[in-house]
A and B are shown apart, each in its own frame.
Chain A
Amino acid sequence: MKKFLKLTKINLYTFFDIHKIINARGFKEVKKVLPMLLLYIFSFGFLAFVIYKGVTFTLDGLIALNMPYIILVTVMIIVSTYSAIMTVFKINKTLFNAKDYTFLLSLPIKKSIIISSKIFNLYIINFVFGAMLLIPTYIAYIVKVDVDIWFHIMYLITFVLIPVIPTIIGSIIGTLFTAIISKFKYKNSFDILISIAFIFIIYYLSYKVQSMSSADLANISNFIVDKFNNIYPLTKVYLNIIKENSIFDLIFFIIISIGLYQLFKFGLVKFFDNINSKLSEVTIINKYREKDVKVSSKLYALYKKEIKRYFSSSLYVMNTAIGCIMLLLVLGAFAIFGGDTINKLLEIPELSNYLVFYGPLVFGVFCVISCTTNSSISLEGKNLWILKSLPINIKDIFISKIMVNLTILFPTILIASIMLAFISHLNVIQYLILLFTPVMYALFISGCGLLINLFFPDFNWTNEVKVIKQSIAVLASLAVGMLVAMAPLFIRIDINKTLYSFLVGVIVLFLTIILYYILFNKGKRIFKSL
């Protein structure tokens, strides 16, 4: 047990950068850690506040319908889904192909303890992120709804249990994915395809839950629970625990959680080495093609390297390209199948004006969530010495990273704007504005993500999930990007919407010029000091 706790502690300290915070000595080190700590506190605090407000608002409606407990079920489903998805993407490199596995195996620690600590590590991470949702929900619920002492006890116990089964489900799916992928020659391409398919299945399931138009109001509560239960069979058990204080269901929940955990651990210990060695097998190609050895310019060489880095990680692609793919799919489906809806839309007066205004903002939001540069510096990791020791202009390094982001964003904007123009019969001027403003957003967010990553780099990661999904740089660039993309919605100027959209594009262009000036001056100095 001691060894298990020690291993878990080390893993968690590394994942949450706790060691950096508690080991910070002297003004210089504290100065380095403090912004990170403050940003963490601010981000989590802000998120908790938004969730609290959202839950309170939803609760008002649900109380009127006499079914406040629906919010608890909904939050439980969200936490479970999030935990499962995150585990699917984290399992490789955390559990399998982990860099420290062979080292740990050489120590006098049982294999089962090493594996348990790694699964437990995944559980704790899910628990922490689940707590961000479950705690504000709990506070909002006890403020708004009369509850007895049993509710508190039941909520507390289930609070700890909720992420257990999703972590196991995510681990099994992730293991299967990794096992299947390992059999293919082009592992990365297949990994990306399978991950995109997985995300679409999740979206499809959530879409199915949302389509509740056929339910009558009196039975809506049962309908929602049934829908959730179809996806996650423990929903009704959870509802019985929370709503009816059912001890029987609680015991069932505990037994199934612990039982599944033990079963999974047992199976994993048995087959771990086999799976792990299969996953680390490499397809031997042997001979290289001499025609691949071509002369390129420095910038193009850097760009090729960056593109290969991007497509080498399914997580990186998933996290940044999924928004673009969805945007194109939705618009494409609308253009092909939305005949009647389009005709009705075309009857709306001033439609094209509204589209030219809101279209770029929506595209802007997609640019923000598709930012690749906000982790591109951190992703250099232990390879940073290569760029620093070679005769490369730092500006070229920055441009190559920005070019990768634009390679994803520009075609998306171009195709999406053509589709939107086709659907809504825009004239040439309106189309050009619809193109211009999002292009400015794309340039802005690409530079902005890079600059923020330079301010908050993290080179000591062991799993790229940490820098791609959960780093300060990613959080901060999302916040800044969203602020810039959404600001025009809140600033009302009484002018023609098409003109306003153009004005927004010009302002973003102005901001982009300032940003790139900072990037190519201050940013270069920061890069040199990394």
Chain B
Amino acid sequence: MIEIKNVTKKYGNKMALNDMSLTIESGDIFAFVGHNGAGKTTCIKCMTDIIEFENGDILYDGISIKNEPLKCKKDLAYIPDNPDLYEFLKGIDYLNFIADIFEIDNSRLEKINKYATEFGLKDALGNPIGSYSHGMKQKLAIIGALIHEPKYIILDEPFVGLDPVATKKLKDHMIEITKKGTSIFFSTHVLEVAEKLCNKIAIIKDGKLIKTGLMHDVLKDKSLEDIFMELENEKIS
């Protein structure tokens, strides 16, 4: 379980996250939705220890990322919105590096082969990442996230740049691993995907959570697009 407790993050005078609290339980596929600049990426970066935050805490099974970042990150996988990977490494070297960091034993090769075949990247693993397209980098980052079988996966716009086959594969994997207890938290602008794939949702506006809960409770008989537009219009009026 991930608990975000009263997290506040400021950039200068701008409040990027304002006293945000949220709980992601085991087995959840949690959609994180909001307009550009609402604070989604900032929240994700705080959750993954990429940036520091002023107040509050984020707990992974009760362990604070502030106090014990290594323990938390051992069970965590993160995929950013723009997968800037080490372009000087070959794809296979990157995956081997990730496997070393997560201390995966000799079973790594089997896992790498499995996911690389599924995502159609096996033939390109011998090439430098610098030669990859955006989608191929995204696939590599996804494989890197899956091979160590994390308890929590945090993704920032994971479907951007993926081809339809890879998108389908990723969705299937998301469903499959959450059944085993993994928690997935991802930001997206593709509301249809969020609506169909996720059991929970949080909507953020100007650094504040404005709606959160079970997907069907939030939607009732409306579409997510309608809900989102209503909330956006509330801001304008």
State whether these chains interact: yes
Indicate if A297 sits at the interface (CB-CB under 8 A). yes
Q: Looking at the complex, which of B81-89, B158-166, B174-182, B201-209 is the stretch in contact with chain A?
A: B81-89
Q: Say yes or no: A282 contacts B131, CB within 8 Å.
A: yes
Q: Say yes or no: B50 contacts A294, CB within 8 Å.
A: no
Q: Looking at the complex, which of B32-40, B101-109, B213-221 is the stretch in contact with chain A?
A: B101-109
Q: Say yes or no: B101 contacts A298, CB within 8 Å.
A: yes
* Complex interface residues of chain B between 111 and 139 (CB less than 8 A to chain A): 112, 123-128, 130-131
Q: Given the complex of chains A and B, what is the CA–CA distance between A389 and B124 in angstroms? A: 25
Asked if A293 meets B96 with Cβ closer than 8 Å, knowing A301-B101, A391-B73, the reply is yes
Indicate if A308 sits at the interface (CB-CB under 8 A). yes
Asked if A382 meets B123 with Cβ closer than 8 Å, knowing A301-B97, A301-B100, A305-B89, the reply is no
User: What residues of chain A lie closer than 8 Å to B211, measured between beta carbons?
Assistant: none
Q: Given the complex of chains A and B, what is the CA–CA distance between A391 and B70 in angstroms? A: 5
* Complex interface residues of chain A between 76 and 108 (CB less than 8 A to chain B): none
Smallest CB gap from A291: residue in B:
B109
Interface 1/0s, chain A 266-295, versus B by CB < 8 A? 000000000000000010111111101111
Residue pairs across A and B with Cβ atoms less than 8 A apart, 13 shown, are A286-B126, A293-B108, A295-B105, A295-B106, A295-B108, A296-B100, A304-B97, A305-B86, A385-B84, A389-B48, A390-B98, A391-B102, A528-B52
Indicate if B5 sits at the interface (CB-CB under 8 A). no
Q: Say yes or no: A389 contacts B74, CB within 8 Å.
A: no
Q: Say yes or no: B97 contacts A29, CB within 8 Å.
A: no
Asked if A389 meets B128 with Cβ closer than 8 Å, knowing A297-B100, A304-B97, A383-B84, the reply is no
Asked if A293 meets B112 with Cβ closer than 8 Å, knowing A28-B12, A385-B80, A529-B52, the reply is yes
Extra A-B contacts (7), CB below 8 Å, given A288-B90, A308-B88, A385-B84 = A292-B96, A293-B99, A295-B108, A305-B86, A305-B89, A382-B82, A391-B74
Q: Say yes or no: A389 contacts B127, CB within 8 Å.
A: no
Q: Say yes or no: A286 contacts B86, CB within 8 Å.
A: no
Interface 1/0s, chain A 368-409, versus B by CB < 8 A? 000000000000011101101111110000000000000000
User: What residues of chain B lie closer than 8 Å to A305, measured between beta carbons?
Assistant: 86, 89, 97
User: What residues of chain A lie closer than 8 Å to B186, measured between beta carbons?
Assistant: none
Indicate if B185 sits at the interface (CB-CB under 8 A). no
Smallest CB gap from A290: residue in B:
B109
How close is B58's CB to chain A, nearest CB, in angstroms?
13
Q: Say yes or no: A287 contacts B101, CB within 8 Å.
A: no
Q: Say yes or no: A293 contacts B92, CB within 8 Å.
A: yes
How close is A484's CB to chain B, nearest CB, in angstroms?
32
Smallest CB gap from B84: residue in A:
A382
Indicate if B93 sits at the interface (CB-CB under 8 A). yes
Indicate if B3 sits at the interface (CB-CB under 8 A). no
Q: Say yes or no: B97 contacts A285, CB within 8 Å.
A: no
Indicate if B49 sits at the interface (CB-CB under 8 A). yes
How close is B92's CB to chain A, nearest CB, in angstroms?
4
A388: contacting residue among B50, B84, B124, CB under 8 A: B50
Q: Given the complex of chains A and B, what is the CA–CA distance between A393 and B71 in angstroms? A: 11
User: What residues of chain B lie closer than 8 Å to A308, measured between beta carbons?
Assistant: 86, 88-89, 93
Asked if A287 meets B100 with Cβ closer than 8 Å, knowing A28-B12, A393-B70, the reply is no
Q: Given the complex of chains A and B, what is the CA–CA distance between A389 and B50 in angstroms? A: 6
Indicate if B78 sits at the interface (CB-CB under 8 A). yes
Q: Given the complex of chains A and B, what is the CA–CA distance between A214 and B130 in angstroms? A: 54
Q: What's the tally of chain B residues with a CB closer than 8 Å to chain A?
A: 47
Q: Given the complex of chains A and B, what is the CA–CA distance between A97 and B126 in angstroms? A: 22
Q: Say yes or no: A295 contacts B100, CB within 8 Å.
A: yes
A383: contacting residue among B52, B85, B123, B128, CB under 8 A: B85
Interface 1/0s, chain A 518-530, versus B by CB < 8 A? 0000000000110
Q: Given the complex of chains A and B, what is the CA–CA distance between A292 and B104 in angstroms? A: 15
Q: Given the complex of chains A and B, what is the CA–CA distance between A386 and B96 in angstroms? A: 14
Asked if A287 meets B126 with Cβ closer than 8 Å, knowing A293-B112, A295-B100, A528-B52, the reply is yes
Interface 1/0s, chain B 37-58, versus A by CB < 8 A? 0000000010011101000000
Q: Say yes or no: A286 contacts B123, CB within 8 Å.
A: yes
Q: Given the complex of chains A and B, what is the CA–CA distance between A336 and B111 in angstroms? A: 55
B49: contacting residue among A290, A300, A388, CB under 8 A: A388
A386: contacting residue among B74, B86, B93, CB under 8 A: B86
Interface centre among B45, B52, B69, B102 (most CB of A within 10 A): B69
User: What residues of chain B lie closer than 8 Å to A393, measured between beta carbons?
Assistant: 70
User: What residues of chain A lie closer than 8 Å to B82, measured between beta carbons?
Assistant: 382
User: What residues of chain B lie closer than 8 Å to A285, measured between beta carbons?
Assistant: 90, 126-127
How close is A501's CB to chain B, nearest CB, in angstroms?
40
Interface centre among A284, A293, A383, A393 (most CB of B within 10 A): A293
User: What residues of chain A lie closer than 8 Å to B90, measured between beta carbons?
Assistant: 285, 288
Q: Say yes or no: A389 contacts B78, CB within 8 Å.
A: yes
Indicate if A349 sits at the interface (CB-CB under 8 A). no
Interface 1/0s, chain B 8-20, versus A by CB < 8 A? 0000110000000
User: What residues of chain A lie closer than 8 Å to B84, measured between beta carbons?
Assistant: 381-383, 385
Indicate if A309 sits at the interface (CB-CB under 8 A). yes
Q: Given the complex of chains A and B, what is the CA–CA distance between A289 and B99 in angstroms? A: 16
Q: Say yes or no: B85 contacts A386, CB within 8 Å.
A: yes
Q: Given the complex of chains A and B, what is the CA–CA distance between A385 and B69 in angstroms? A: 14
* Complex interface residues of chain A between 295 and 326 (CB less than 8 A to chain B): 295-298, 300-301, 304-305, 308-309, 312-313
How close is B17's CB to chain A, nearest CB, in angstroms?
17
User: What residues of chain B lie closer than 8 Å to A287, measured between beta carbons?
Assistant: 123, 126
User: What residues of chain A lie closer than 8 Å to B98, measured between beta carbons?
Assistant: 390
Q: Say yes or no: B86 contacts A284, CB within 8 Å.
A: no
Asked if A282 meets B100 with Cβ closer than 8 Å, knowing A382-B84, A529-B52, the reply is no
